[in-house]
Structure 1
Amino acid sequence: MKKFYKYGLVAVLVLALMASVFGCSGGKTGEQKNAGTSVGEKKPTIVIGSKTFTEALLLGTMTYQYLQHLGYPVENKVGLGELAVIRPALESGQISGYWEYTGTVLINVMKHEPSFNEEECYKLVKDWDAKNGLVWLDYAPLNDTYGIMVRKDIADKYHLKKTSDLIELIKKGEPIRFVSTQEYNERPDGLAHFEKVYNFQYPKKYIINAALNVGYEALKAGQAEAGLAFTTDARVKAYGLVLLEDDKKAFPVYNAAPVFRKEIIDAYPQLPEQMKKLSSLLDDKTIMELNRQVDVDKKSVDEVSREFLKQHGLIS
């Protein structure tokens, strides 16, 4: 009788433990149903990466926060690295997705001629990466291309409005110090392409290589006269700098879009439509304002991202 009681008690305890375990997992399954997960199905974790500049950090962080809110199993690897680091990470499966720029892949990965048409550029990279097991979701309206900026006193002194105006000064031998980055100077769509389109060669003694995003600070501090800018960077306006017109169209289109590994989209077929709700909100003006809050107002990327998502009802 004692033996029966002993095993009977063990059975009751086991059943109670199983009920407890399945009861807990039932709650998780309920969350994951919103992300397209069915009971008993093991779905992959979505590892979100990003490049390291402010805009990329914002895009990656918003994606991570949004997908986390939707109930997806996500991992944060935002700020992983630039193209030479993050593209291989996506291809190898170290990360599941990140925001990339259409022109970047077209020129630097595909070794294709630059495109100045948004739809054409997007289709080219989307079709190319489909063969690589990568899926480009709908691109955002924002076009974060390159531009040439100068200090306002320099623009006023030489009456600079177009990039060609600046090139003429350089050809005349004016000592115009230009802040760039090592990556830009080595990219196929970088300095060499810029020089080719505008038919000149920048004197190496006047080129200053700096870390990404330092150029704005250098111009503000008077340490250079001109520099490479991103057209959606709010510091151009905030620092009183002048963005010159790219009158010879040296800088192609660079629409931002989420790119995911195919197995992630296969596992979560609702993801493209859910991500479209985010990407459709991000035009030049909107992303510039978000960049401003981080770079000028010195708010954290996490705070700015979360507030934007809440404001548009994407998270609560």
Structure 2
Amino acid sequence: MRRLAGLLAVSVLLAGSVTGCGLDAAYKLPFDVGPGSIEPVPELEGLQITVGSKNFTEQILLGYIAEVALTAAGADIRDMTNIQGSPSARQALEVGDVDLYWEYTGTSWINFQQETEPIPDEQAQYDAVKKADAERFGIAWLDYSPVNDKYAIATTREFADKHQLKTMSDMVALLAEQPDLGSMCLESEFISRQDGLAGAERTYEFDVPDRNIKTFGVGAIYATLAAGNTCNFGEVFTTDGRILTLDLAVLEDDRKTFPQYNAAVTVRTDFLDRYPQLADVLNPVAAKLDNETILELSVEVDGDGTDPAVVARDWLVAQGFVTNPAG
């Protein structure tokens, strides 16, 4: 609870305006897109749709996937991906700076609905958050995808093998004996979230002293953790391709502290009511996505250095959703 106040304070500051968070610039896709199974939709032709995302690889990829798909349907897309943090992205949607972005069921349930107990079943968690968001905030959820990007704690393969770590309970037992090994690289948002460190401390009945916490941007944690000289443990996302490229060992959440985080497009209810065709375009795309796909696409971005917009387009072309006029 000691860290929750920080997140709440940030949320209050965001309530006034999000224009100071990098949302005052928008760009179009850097290439043309042709129709595939997604054909031009008359109701969406020329409609300006601003698509946002949070500021990590998977989110940016998902944002571009939505942008490319909607471009094939005829919409005029404004790219507002790479927004700093969950509260900023959500606030941008609520106030109309963006029209849609992909959110995670657990994030909305814990952070925006302020619920303290996650729902273990994917469908039940989705149904609950969809109902609550519609009633309380006028936010609609399109169909959720099989992508379930859960939080996890990871370490290097070498450290895990040396200390025989397979689960978070193993980690807690090790730190009870050798607390000096408990250095953790964490993002500031994860530290304060009830579905992050605060919840894990409660579930596993341990406490991470502030002196053991090293704060990094989410993108820097993976490389810092892999280097092995700053922290022994770090926060990761289970669908992040850097887990594969850096050969990190993800600890099993054996007490199930981290909620379900199925990704789905969120959109203001009034906007979806005016343009229900958005669901017809994006729901089939969501159904084709899964954890393995996102891992592979993330590796193309983080491992190979390919532009995420290009990765998103090429995947949609491979699935037959769109075509590439340039061949």
| TM-score, normalised relative to structure 1 | 0.85
CA distance in 1, matches of 2:205, 2:83: 36
Measure the CA separation in 2 of the matches of 1:229 and 1:55: 12
> Which residue of 102, 127, 131 maps to 2:105?
102
Aligned to 1:122: 126
Equivalent residue, structure 2, for 1:253: 260
For 1:196-254, what per-residue CA distance to the aligned partner results, in whole angstroms no more than 9, with x for missing partners? 00000012222111111211101221122111111111211221211111111111100
Which residue is 1:182 aligned to? 188
Q: Which moved more, 1:159-168 or 1:73-82?
A: 73-82
Larger displacement relative to structure 2 (202-211 or 157-166) = 202-211
For residues 208-287 of structure 1, the aligned pairs below 5 Å read: 208-223=214-229, 224-287=231-294
- The residue aligned with 2:199 is 193
Rg bigger for which structure?
Answer: 1
Q: How does 1:6-155 map to 2 (within 5 A)?
A: 34-37=40-43, 45-112=48-115, 113-131=117-135, 132-155=137-160
Unmatched 5+ stretches in structure 2: 1-38
Q: Which runs of 5+ in 1 are unaligned?
A: 1-32
Query: How much does 1:266 deviate?
Result: 2.2
Secondary structure, counterpart of 2:41 in structure 1:
coil
> What CA RMSD, in Å, does the superposition of the two structures yield over aligned residues?
1.6
Mapped partners of 2:143, 2:107: distance in 1:
16
Q: Which runs of 4+ in 1 moved over 4 A?
A: none
Match of 1:300? 307
Structure 2: distance between partners of 1:227 and 1:264: 39
Kept in 1, the 8 Å contact 2:47–2:75? The answer is no
State the one-letter code of the partner of 2:215: N
Does structure 2 conserve the Cα–Cα contact (< 8 Å) formed by 1:48 and 1:96?
Answer: yes
Distance 1:269 1:36, change over 3 A: farther
In structure 1, the partner of 2:211 is: 205
- In structure 2, the partner of 1:164 is 169
Following the alignment from structure 2 to structure 1, what is the Cα–Cα distance between the partners of residues 41 and 129?
27
Q: Secondary structure at the match of 2:152?
A: strand
> How far did residue 43 of structure 1 move?
7.7
Deviation at 1:260, TM superposition (A): 1.0
Paired with 1:243 and 1:188, the residues of 2 have a C-alpha distance of 20
Counterpart of 1:47 in 2: which secondary structure? strand
> Once the two structures are aligned, what percentage of the paired residues are identical?
37
> Is the 1:36–1:268 Cα contact (8 Å) retained in structure 2?
no
